[in-house]
Amino acid sequence: MRKLLIEEMNRLSVEEFKESDKFPFVIVLDNIRSLNNVGSFFRTADAFRARKLILCGYTQNPPHREITRSALGAENSVIWEKEETTLAAVIKLKEEGYRIISVEQAEGSTLLQNFEPESNVPYAFVFGNEVEGVADEVIAASDKCVEIPQFGTKHSFNVSVSAGIVLWEFVRKNLT
């Protein structure tokens, strides 16, 4: 066994990525403060072919050196928008037919392994601030909260790690 060379991975060019079919979801960032986390979201959005990334509130947007450092160029392939508030983004997405899923530990949340996305329905996954989580008003406007099971003492993942877990599960279920 050996590691593959970059040339052997059959990666899409930025142009091919932009023209490729995307999975039926968008990512909504609710006041993410860490620029490294924002960059990580761009890479995750690229890896899982998200339709777009919506940066809300005080979430910084490209171009920014710190975002570029962790995004590794994904800020050039992923479509992104800036919204003044997360609630405004969620309301707009609902009007466009998206199901709003907040990733949060909340009363009545669905454990990730029990979340079954409906066919032919677009989803918007909301990821919250590193300290405060998803804002209460956004949770109230959501169709569902999804929670990642955890078994340690901290009861939280880094927000960009949460994105990798949740979005892989969504994409995996859409591949079958």
What pLDDT digit, counting tens, does each position of 46-79 carry?
999 999 999 999 999 999 999 999 999 899 999 9
Residue 1 within a domain: no
pLDDT tens-digit series, residues 42-53: 999 999 999 999
Residue 91 within a domain: yes
pLDDT bracket for residue 6 (50, 70, 90): confident
DSSP secondary structure letter of residue 23: -
In the prediction, which pLDDT does 7 show?
87
∠ at Cα 140 (130, 132), nearest 5°? 15
Please enumerate in sequence order all residues whose Cβ is within 8 A of that of 85, keeping only pairs 6 or more positions apart, or say none: 56, 57
Residue 109 within a domain: yes
CATH number of 113's domain: 3.40.1280.10
Alpha helices in the chain (DSSP H): 14-19, 35-47, 65-71, 74-77, 86-95, 136-141, 159-175
In the prediction, which pLDDT does 59 show?
97
Residue 6 within a domain: no
Local structure of 126: helix, strand or coil: strand
Residue 149 within a domain: yes
Specify the number of domains making up the chain: 1
In the prediction, which pLDDT does 114 show?
97
Cα 151 to Cα 122: distance, rounded to the nearest angstrom: 30
Residue 114: enclosing H or E segment and its boundaries? none
Whether the predicted pLDDT of 10 surpasses 90: no
Cα 16 to Cα 29: distance, rounded to the nearest angstrom: 25
CA atoms within 13 Å, Cβ hemisphere of 10: 0
Residue 2 within a domain: no
Cα 171 to Cα 25: distance, rounded to the nearest angstrom: 9
For residue 134, give its domain range.
13-175
pLDDT bracket for residue 154 (50, 70, 90): confident
What's the mean pLDDT when you consider all of the chain?
95
**Does the pTM of the predicted model rise above 0.75?**
yes
Residue 61 within a domain: yes
